[in-house]
Amino acid sequence: MPPRSAKKRLSTQQSVNAAVKSICDIMRRSNCKGATKYVPELTWVLFLRILDDLEQRETEEAEALGRPFTPALAAPYRWRDWAAPDSPLRHKDNGGTAEKAWAFVHRPGDGLLATLRSYADPKVEATQRQRLIAQILSDTTRSRLDSAKNFCDVLDKVHALGGDAVDTTHVFPLSQVYEGLLLKMGEKGNDGGQFFTPREIIRLMVRVLDPQIGKTVYDPGCGTGGFLAEAYAWMVQKAKKPQDRETLKHRTFYGRETDDMTFPIALANLLLHEIDEPHLWHGNTLTGEARYEGLFAEAPKFFDYVLMNPPFGGKENKAAQTHFDFPTSSTQCLFLQHVLGQMKKGSSCGIVLDEGLLFRKNDSAFVKTKEKLLGECDVWCIVSLPAGVFLSAGAGVKTDLVFFTKGKPTERIWYFDLSDVKVGRKSPLTLKHFEERGFFDLLPQRAESDWSWSVDFAARRDAALAAREPIDEQAAELREQLEAQESELKEKKKAAAPEAKIEELEKVLAELAKQVRELDAKGQDIEWAIYDLKAVNPRAKRDEDTRTPAELLASIAAKGLEADGALAELGKLL
- Looking at residue 193, its pLDDT comes to 42
CB neighbour list of residue 120: distance below 8 Å, 6 or more residues apart: 131, 134, 135, 138, 292, 294
Query: For the purposes of burial, counting CB atoms within 10 Å of the CB of 191, is it exposed (0-12), middle (13-18) or buried (19 or more)?
Result: middle
Distance between alpha carbon 310 and the CA centroid of its chain, in Å?
Answer: 5
How confident is the model at residue 544, as a pLDDT?
Answer: 60
Query: How far is CA 122 from each of CA 109, 130, 131, 261, 283, rounded to the nearest angstrom?
Result: 17, 12, 9, 22, 18
Q: Which of 133, 127, 102 is nearest to 115 (CA)?
A: 133
**Which SS3 state, helix, strand or coil, does residue 212 take?**
coil
Ramachandran region of residue 18, left (φ > 0), alpha (ψ -120 to 50) or beta? alpha
Beta carbons of 343 and 351 less than 8 angstroms apart: no
Q: In which order are the strands placed within the sheet that holds 289-292?
A: 289-292, 279-284, 253-257, 217-219, 303-308, 343-354, 399-406, 377-384, 412-417, 452-456
Contact 259, 39 (CB under 8 A): no
Strands 253-257 and 217-219: parallel
**By the 8 A CB rule, do 247 and 219 touch?**
no
Euclidean distance between CA atoms 66 and 192, whole angstroms: 47
Structure confidence at residue 37 (pLDDT): 77
How far apart are the C-alpha atoms of 350 and 443, rounded to whole Å?
14
66 φψ region: left (φ > 0), alpha (ψ -120 to 50), beta (else): left
Distance CA 373, CA 376 (A): 6
- Rg (alpha carbons) of the chain, rounded to whole number: 31
Length of the chain in terms of residues written: 574
> For residue 538, is the peptide bond before it cis, meaning its omega torsion is within 30 degrees of 0?
no
Residues of the chain with pLDDT under 50: 1-6, 168, 170-172, 188-195, 393-394
Note the pLDDT of residue 170: 45
Q: How far is 284 from 303, CA to CA, in rounded Å?
A: 19
For residue 204, what are the CA distances in angstroms to 208, 219, 401, 417? 6, 16, 10, 15
Which CA distances in Å does 479 have to 485, 490, 521, 526? Answer: 10, 16, 14, 20
Give the count of beta carbons closer than 10 Å to the beta carbon of residue 141.
10
499: left (phi over 0), alpha (psi -120 to 50) or beta: alpha
Residue 545 has a pLDDT of 63
pLDDT digits over 509-547, tens only? 888 889 989 998 898 888 888 899 999 999 887 656 667
